[in-house]
Amino acid sequence: MGVHICNRFLKLHNGYLLPSVGLGTYQLLGESVCEVVDKAISLGYRHIDTAHSYNNESEIGDVLKSRIESGSITRTDLFLTTKVPDILHEPSDVLEGVEESRAKLKTKYLDLVLIHHPWTMRKNGQRDLKPMDSKGELQFVKFNLQKTWRSLENCVKDGTVRSIGLSNFTIGQIQNILDGCTIMPANLQLECHAYLQQKSLHEFCKARDITLTAYSPLGAPGRPEHHRFTDQPVLLDDPIVDSISQAHRKTKAQILLGWLVQKGFCVVPKTKSEKRLTENLEIFNTNLSNSELVKLQALDRGIRYFKFKYMTGHPEFKPAEDF
């Protein structure tokens, strides 16, 4: 007997509801991000996932402000996630970054703010997101992120942020935050799909009431060149996924997204296509049988599409561990 997908929201430990299908906006810039976000809102998306480093918060804020002013949505309908970049981990920088994101997104509060990566880098005068020294090497900093976390806790206490969480953290790095926190992480965002199922992190977070958001849930087909390696098969070409999609008369993407939501994940797929934007929301009536669930589980190969090889040498970069 199959399990019916009906998890349209994930309940965070503080009671707020996270829509389980969001719009990812990585690599969407300028006019392009405006068009996609506007289209997505009209189709029913209410969860928008961005980051300081995506360089598109202002454009997203313009679209949301215009939608709210026109009366087609209210601010309380929306769930906005953004992320603190690696160069703004010092407590005073965290506050500055949060205020900047809030101003760009034109909102009084942010629904969820994540520490984007556990890999602190030195802030320079230009605030380069990838600061280089005179030899052209990235400037790494060893830093205890409990300090960054305390600063985010203050943002929750003053009402500018509702929930806080982590992204790309290992179990040990999450534990470090848990050891020093007064407000628990509400969410962990991580690369997760049928080829990288993240079982240990899933179990660890589930036991601690930390929800999970899967980025690249379709295997990151549009990822940039520096994240492409020859040992990465194309998830959307997998014959098992294809056969299940044909049996259900669903797209392969719908099967992969529906399966993750059925497992209790939030997903934030990215697309510019109106057709795919629509299809990605139509996953709540998929009824995968137990044998299909077993077949999808068997696809786990530990294949990571975002390897972050440029962070090699950072004291907190641990490629041998799940993150």
Positions of the chain with pLDDT under 70 = 1-6
pLDDT for position 125: 81
pLDDT for position 6: 54
pLDDT for position 3: 38
pLDDT for position 285: 84
User: Is 54 in the active site?
Assistant: yes
pLDDT for position 1: 33
- Residue 163 β-bridge partners: 112
pLDDT for position 286: 82
User: What would the CATH number be for the domain defined by 10-221+266-272+303-311?
Assistant: 3.20.20.100
| Rounded Cα distance, 260 and 195, in Å | 12
In Å, what is the CA distance from 122 to each residue of 128, 146, 309, 314? 9, 17, 18, 12
pLDDT for position 26: 97
pLDDT for position 206: 96
| Rounded Cα distance, 156 and 73, in Å | 24
Q: Which one from 26, 54, 195, 305 is the annotated catalytic residue?
A: 54
pTM higher than 0.85, yes or no? yes
pLDDT for position 5: 41
In Å, what is the CA distance from 20 to each residue of 9, 59, 312? 5, 23, 33
Cβ atoms of 168 and 118 within 8 Å: the answer is yes
Mean pLDDT of the chain: 95
pLDDT for position 2: 40
pLDDT for position 312: 96
| Rounded Cα distance, 310 and 52, in Å | 19
Domain ranges of the chain: 10-221+266-272+303-311
